[in-house]
Amino acid sequence: MKKAAQYLKGKHNFQSFCDGKIGERNPVRSIDRITILKKSATVPILRQAQHPIISVDIEGRSFLCHMVRIIVGTLIEVGRGALPPEGIKEILKAKDRAAAGKTLPAKGLFLMKVYY
């Protein structure tokens, strides 16, 4: 996942990572930083010990509709072995939403900080 995330850093056309519902005019965006951490946590509802939790922090100047949720969904596919890390380059080239992974649900998504 970390290797795949490196292909997303920088300025790219992220049309493959946008749901397109709002008709984004310019899908070019910049990602400055992506940090992926694996943590362990106890899930009280399941009453089982230690489940892995993946934390993905993405820093950029602006994002398209559902862009972060689609990026993380695609990175999870890489982590599960369904997509090689280099597949991210092909997804960016495709400029087609169908090429990327699924859109993750919004729960667990947090806006951490806004810089002006």
- Percentage of residues of the chain with pLDDT beyond 70: 88
Mean pLDDT value of segment 5-29: 89
Q: Which pLDDT value is given to residue 29?
A: 95
Answer whether 12's CB lies under 8 Å from 29's CB.
yes
Look up tokens 């087609």; give the residue. Answer: 96
Asked if pLDDT for residue 6 goes beyond 60, the answer is: yes
Distance between CA atoms of residues 21 and 106, nearest Å: 16
pTM: 0.87
Fold of the CATH domain 2-99: Alpha-Beta Plaits (3.30.70)
Tens-digit pLDDT profile for residues 42-97: 656 555 666 678 889 999 989 999 999 999 999 999 999 999 999 999 999 999 99
Is-contact 29 67, C-beta < 8 A?
yes
How is the chain split into domains, by residue range?
A: 2-99
Give whole-number Cα distances, 100 to 64, 74, 104, 111, 113, in Å. 14, 6, 12, 23, 26
